[in-house]
Structure 1
Amino acid sequence: MFGVHDFLLFVLSGLLLNITPGQDVFYVVSRGASHGWKMGSVAALGVCTGCFVHVFAAALGLSAILATSAMAFTVVKFVGAAYLIWVGISMWRKNGSGNGGETDEFFRVKASKVYAQGFWTNALNPKVALFFMAFLPQFVTVDAPNKPLAFLLLGMVFTCTGTLVNLTYAWSAARVSAKLGKNGSFGTWAKRAAGTLFVGLGIRLAMSDSVG
């Protein structure tokens, strides 16, 4: 159907990959721990939207540009690295509430920023685009009547399962923070730890090899 084969294997493989911690998970966990499950959920939805950028790019063949053009990959890589470092530094500069539950006013004021950061954290990662180009074709039949549609179907399934996993991470982080961080120290520690990690991820991305 839709030119897709081994669909259940794809879903299982996708779940295992989603569970593996990466910069998206670290961002969601840091927001859940420092601002509660609602803000962690907003971060997860931002990551989800950023992932759709790569899904549509893969379906349209745009990701192939990053896979074949060293210049395009390098430009996106350094922009993404700079953004990760900036997010990491901003996490250090601002303290979170750390109590696992935010006020409605705080949620309204900050949600758009958290959502946008989640979006750009994923969308500006060229290696996510390359991952989709390498992973999705393995489950598309050679004689698929509409390959872009098959890419869209698989990409959306992968993104949806990933969002469910991230929402679970957000809820878990908020629960742990609520139990261990009554005075706000746990949320602040989690946010600063994530900030340090993001700076490291940004430096690592900037120093990684380009298209080879």
Structure 2
Amino acid sequence: MIPFNEILLFSLAAFVLVISPGPNMLYLISRSITQGKKAGIISLAGVICGFLFHITMVSFGLTAILFAVPIAYTILKTIGVVYLLYLAFQAIKPNSKGIFETPNNLSPDKPGKLFRIGFLTNVLNPKVAVFYLSFFPQFIKPEYGSIFTQSIQLGITQIIVSFSVNFIIVLTASKVSVFFSNNPVWVKIQKWFMAGVLTALAIKMSLTKAQ
């Protein structure tokens, strides 16, 4: 099993990735604002099922790759560092959007379609795939036991963090959207805070050595 302090650090990384703007975030907020909390929750259920798909694929894949190709760890780490720095830049670049700056003119959809789009949005989201493939190896070590079991442990942790954050966002999307619209200074603080944490995680990851 992965030590608790490592799980906490991974949870922080998962939290920052969840609140960084992406397809999942934009879809959930848009649906919550235009169709209400129920639609947002149904969409979130689809997104969570998409995470389960990614976790299953990545857990089996990492078990094979990390044992068969030692250099894969370095490659995945490099991809992760570059991607984190890219997200940090996207957060603070000129004219970048805040978390709640989303289109709100979507037409209503039925529950089945809301779930399906949420699922497909996550399954086809490259940010999720890159996160799993580049972050998991940084926390998985042979001395902690089965690589597959560690992957599942990290996956469950990521799902709990993602569900918790997104559930709160779905419930408060409309109110928070209004707050950020009326207080632009907080949008800047949110962007720079996110960029700072992403950069710190990138530095930490770059200094991590394979075991």
TM bin, normalised by shorter chain, reads 0.5 to 0.7
2-structure distance, mates of 1:117, 1:189: 23
2:14 is matched with which residue? Answer: 24
Residue 130 of structure 2 is aligned to residue 120 of structure 1: yes
Seen in structure 2, the aligned counterparts of structure 1 residues 54 and 83 have a Cα distance that, compared at 3 Å, is same
* 1:63/1:87 CA distance change after superposition, 3 Å: same
Q: Secondary structure at the match of 1:124?
A: helix
Distance 1:23 1:101, change over 3 A: same
- Measure the CA separation in 2 of the matches of 1:205 and 1:121: 12
Question: Structure 1: which 5+ runs fail to align?
Answer: 1-16, 139-150
What is the deviation of 1:121?
3.1
In 2, Cα distance between equivalents of 1:203 and 1:48: 31
1:38 aligns with: 29
Cα distance change of structure 1 residues 133 and 195 upon mapping to structure 2, 3 Å threshold: farther
Q: Say if 1:117 and 1:127 are closer, same or farther in 2 by CA, change over 3 A.
A: same
Root-mean-square deviation over aligned CA pairs:
4.9
Q: 1:78, CA displacement in angstroms? A: 0.6
> Which residue of structure 2 aligns with residue 142 of structure 1?
none
Amino acid corresponding to residue 31 of structure 1 in structure 2: P
Q: State how far apart, in whole Å, the 1-side matches of 2:45 and 2:84 are.
A: 16
1:202 alignment partner in structure 2: 202
* Partner AA of 1:166 in structure 2: V
Q: State the match for 1:164 in structure 2.
A: 163
Aligned CA distance change for structure 1 residues 137 and 118 (closer, same or farther; 3 Å): closer
SS at match of 1:125: helix
Aligned length: 177
Q: Percent identity?
A: 14
How far the C-alpha of 1:70 sits from its partner, in A, is: 3.5
Whether the 8 Å contact between 1:77 and 1:126 is mirrored in structure 2 is: no
Label 1:29 to 1:193 Cα distance change in 2 as closer, same or farther (>3 A).
same
User: Which letter maps to 1:137?
Assistant: T
Q: Kindly tell me: are residues 63 and 118 of structure 1, through their superposed partners in 2, closer, same or farther at Cα, counting changes over 3 Å?
A: same
Determine whether 1:137 maps to 2:137.
no
In structure 2, do the counterparts of structure 1 residues 89 and 38 end up closer, same or farther at CA, with 3 Å as the change threshold?
A: same
- Of stretches 43-52 and 86-95 in structure 1, the one that deviates more from structure 2 is 43-52
CA spacing shift, 1:206–1:50, aligned 2, 3 Å: farther
1:198 maps to a residue whose letter is L
SS of the equivalent of 2:16 reads helix
1:85/1:37 CA distance change after superposition, 3 Å: same
Amino acid at match of 2:77: K
Q: CA shift at 1:187, angstroms?
A: 2.2
Distance apart, 1:205 and its partner CA: 0.8
The residue number in structure 1 matching 2:110 is none
Question: Which residue in 1 is equivalent to 2:54?
Answer: 53
Alignment partner, residue 14 of structure 1: none
Preserved CA contact (<8 Å) 2:81 2:205:
yes
* CA–CA separation in structure 2 for the residues paired with 1:133 and 1:73: 17
Could you list the runs of 5+ residues in structure 2 that have no partner in the other structure? 1-6, 33-39, 107-117
Deviates further, 40-49 or 160-169: 40-49
CA distance in 2, matches of 1:176, 1:35: 14
